[in-house]
A and B are shown apart, each in its own frame.
Chain A
Amino acid sequence: MNVLGEAFRAALASLNAHRLRSFLTTLGILIGTMAVIAVVSVLQGFSASISSQFSDLGSNTLTLEAVNEQENFRSGQINTLSFDDVDVLRYKVTGISRVAPIISTPLRGASYKGRNVTPQVLGATEESQYVLNIDTSIGRYITASDDKGGRRVVVIGTEVRDELKMPENPVGEFLLLGNEWFRVVGLLEKRGEIFGFSQDNRVIIPFSVARSLTGIFDRTFMEVSFTITDLTQISQVRERAIRAIRTNRRIAPGKEDDFEIKAADSFVKQFEQITATATAVLAGIVGISLLVGGIGIMNIMLVSVTERTREIGILKALGATRRDILVQFLLEAALLSLLGGIVGIVLGLLAGMGIASLIPNFPPAHVPVWIMLAAAGFSALVGVVFGIAPASKAAGLDPIEALRYE
């Protein structure tokens, strides 16, 4: 430790003696780590924000959707779910606690005192509040009696209220949807954006009302979210649901499903996969840049060994062994590239924050500590690996020749 401490001090002194050169030498490492930290911080921030938004949907929630091939849209044979499918889930499949069908109505346009907006108009039941984890900040949500009685009531998103310049508390105001007036009973909690799509530009009306309104259209676009009683049974329940829906939709054995049951977090998983791939590609690029940086360090260290030949001769005359010299130069190379790595990490963090704050509505940058530690460790490792050649050159010098060197 004593010797190592001494070598450490000597390495620092020698780097300090050639500050500009040390800085330029380590620039490759610096830029490499800076790039990786900047990009990782942005990606991770993005991913963290996506995950937290989607964790609102409980992991015990499954969603049934109709599947449409490109061809279906071309031919107009659009495949949708039927209301029977909802009943099958509700009454014929065991292990399901709540079923929340949601109709995406074709209604476009909501008016209030001469102003118009085009929110997404959804029809939902009381259960959707629990299944989708939606809550109201003012007023109340759609209730079972709203649904039963077919009341013309609506719960609106904050963006709708703001765009229509409704009062801060919009409860009791009337909104024109399609050709009918709806009384506002609640305001949805603000949810922000996912991928730039506002989650607040929507209104929710009772399911039965939506159903009767869309009766005038050919198709009902509906998806059904439902929760599982016992999370450990999720795949069994999913299998049972698929079998029941197939029977209900009269799909012949051997034919493919024309519907899909997705876990709520499958999107998150998909996204995480994309992030992981991007990170892996990035790691490759960084590997190359650190390789280049390492070669730079090796090059300068070789020059430095030549320059300090006489100094090495002196140390050997004073009794330094090969190992003493080797350790000193290895430490110098490692320290050089570690310092580059640390400065790179700091600059990368700053760059990441800068990028995140420059893009509107972008989540804040975030870097896991282990990535920073790995970057620092890896840059030190690069120093050691590329320091081996110069250090062994130094260690192998003949003291007599080295002392004579001018």
Chain B
Amino acid sequence: MIELHGIVKRYVLGEETVLALAGVDLHIGRNEYVALIGPSGSGKSTLMNLLGCLDSPSEGSYILNGRDTSSLSEDELAAVRNREIGFVFQSFHLLPRQTALQNVMQPLVYRRMPPLERRRLAIEALTKVGLGDRLDHRPNQLSGGQRQRVAVARALVGQPSILLADEPTGNLDSRTSAEIMALFDALHAQGQTVIVVTHEPDIAAHCRRTIRVFDGRIVEDTQNPARAA
């Protein structure tokens, strides 16, 4: 489903050119549960941005569901993000003035979906993450764990190919972290492809496959033993 071939990413910082990714080849199949780990500055975030179609590679090709995305325009990338990628961020990134329901409906707005349909799907997604009774709460009326659930619901509402989570438990205490990871496990069990970017080993341990990035290259790619539930 995801195929990266010879991905190189360079940034120009003033006079200097930084090589963030120095040739990455990667294949991730449907319904995989992948942890992307590596220290800061390793190119892990750059890789995540590329996978999430927030950025385009300098060289190489990124084939997502059989479509080469490396030469798409900015607006075409926006459409790909809208349909194929569900983002979950470390600091939730909810729209502060909007209710949980409105937050979850937002991606569907860009799909030109009629309001009633948006509402139905959003309620469904929020119910799925256990927040069916918090539809009209604003982010500041929700706990950290609940906010992250809203974010997960928002990521899932459009039925994306990939759930892409960037340090999803970084701002949560251990108990809430466990809840969120349990949610991810359940989603994976239902057939969702999940990629989690993290630096915490016990979060990575939830995943079935661990990809370690260092100095802009993949240095390790291992299958984890299935966890005893």
Binding site for B on A (CB under 8 A): 2-3, 5-6, 13-14, 17, 310-311, 313-324, 399-400, 403
Contact of A320 among B78, B87, B93, B112 (CB under 8 A): B78
A403 touches B89 (CB 8 A): yes
Is B115 in contact with chain A by the CB < 8 A criterion? yes
Indicate if the CB atoms of B83 and A319 lie closer than 8 Å. yes
Question: In the complex, which residue of chain B has the Cβ closest to the Cβ of A13?
Answer: B97
Contacts of A322 in B (CB 8 A): 74-75, 78
Given A316-B54, A317-B54, A400-B49, 19 other A-B residues pairs in contact with their CB atoms under 8 A: A2-B114, A3-B109, A14-B97, A310-B93, A311-B96, A313-B93, A315-B95, A315-B106, A317-B87, A317-B93, A318-B82, A318-B107, A318-B154, A319-B83, A321-B75, A322-B74, A323-B75, A403-B54, A403-B89
CB distance from B101 to the nearest CB of A (A): 13
Contact A319 B97 (CB under 8 A): no
Shortest distance between the CB of A396 and any CB in chain B (Å): 9
Interface bits B45-89 vs A (CB < 8 Å: 1, else 0): 000010010110000000000000000001100110111000101
- 4 tightest CB-CB pairs across the interface, nearest first? A319-B82, A319-B110, A318-B107, A321-B75
Interchain CB contact (< 8 A) of B106 among A318, A321, A400, A403:
A318
Chain A nearest CB from B67 CB (Å) reads 16
B223 touches A (CB below 8 Å)? no
A321 and B109 contact, CB distance less than 8 A: no
CB distance from B120 to the nearest CB of A (A): 15
Any chain A CB within 8 A of the CB of B111? yes
**Residues of A close to B97: CB separation below 8 A:** 13-14, 17
**Shortest distance from the beta carbon of A325 to any chain B beta carbon, whole Å:** 10
Q: Is B98 an interface residue (CB 8 A)?
A: yes
* Chain A contact residues, majority secondary structure: helix
Interface centre among A317, A318, A324, A399 (most CB of B within 10 A): A318
| Chain B positions 87-136 with a Cβ under 8 Å from a chain A Cβ | 87, 89, 93-98, 106-107, 109-115
Complex: how many Å from CA A399 to CA B48? 13
Residue in B78, B114, B115 whose CB lies within 8 Å of A316: B78
Chain B minimum-CB-distance residue to A10: B98
Partner of B81 from the list A3, A311, A319 (CB cut-off 8 Å) is: A319
How far is it, in angstroms, between the C-alpha of A236 and the C-alpha of B52 when the chains are bound?
A: 84
9 contacts between A and B (CB under 8 A): A311-B96, A314-B94, A318-B107, A318-B154, A319-B82, A319-B107, A319-B110, A319-B111, A321-B75
* Distance from A93 Cβ to chain B, minimum over Cβ atoms (Å): 76
- Chain B's closest residue to A313 (CB) is B93
Bound together, the chains give a CA A310 to CA B94 distance in angstroms of 10
In the complex, what residue of chain B is closest to A399 when comparing beta carbons? Answer: B54
Point out the residues of chain B lying under 8 angstroms from A2, CB to CB. 109, 112-115
Q: Quick one: which of A14, A314, A321 contacts B93, CB cutoff 8 A? A: A314
CA distance A322 to B74 in the complex (A): 8
**Nearest CB on B from A138, distance (A):** 71
A residues within 8 A CB of B89? 403
Closest A residue to B98 using CB positions: A13
B window 35-49: CB within 8 A of A: 49
Nearest residue, chain A, Cβ from B111: A319
- Give Cα A6–Cα B81 distance, bound, in whole angstroms: 20
Compute how far the CA of A400 lies from the CA of B52 in the bound complex, rounded to whole angstroms: 10
Would you give the shortest CB distance from A401 to chain B, in whole angstroms? 10
CB contacts (< 8 Å) of A314 on chain B: these are 93-95
Given the interface pairs A319-B82, A321-B75, A322-B75, the reply to whether A3 lies near B112 with Cβ below 8 Å is yes
Contact B93 A319 (CB under 8 A): no
Q: Closest residue to A6 on the B side, CB-wise?
A: B109
Residue on A nearest B76 in the bound complex, by CB = A321
Chain B residues, Cβ within 8 Å of A319: 78-79, 81-83, 107, 110-111, 158
Judging by beta carbons under 8 Å apart, are B81 and A317 in contact? yes
Q: Interface code B160-203, partner A: CB below 8 Å = 1, 0 otherwise?
A: 00000000000000000000000000000000000000000000
- Chain B residue at smallest Cβ distance from A16: B97
A324 touches B110 (CB 8 A): yes
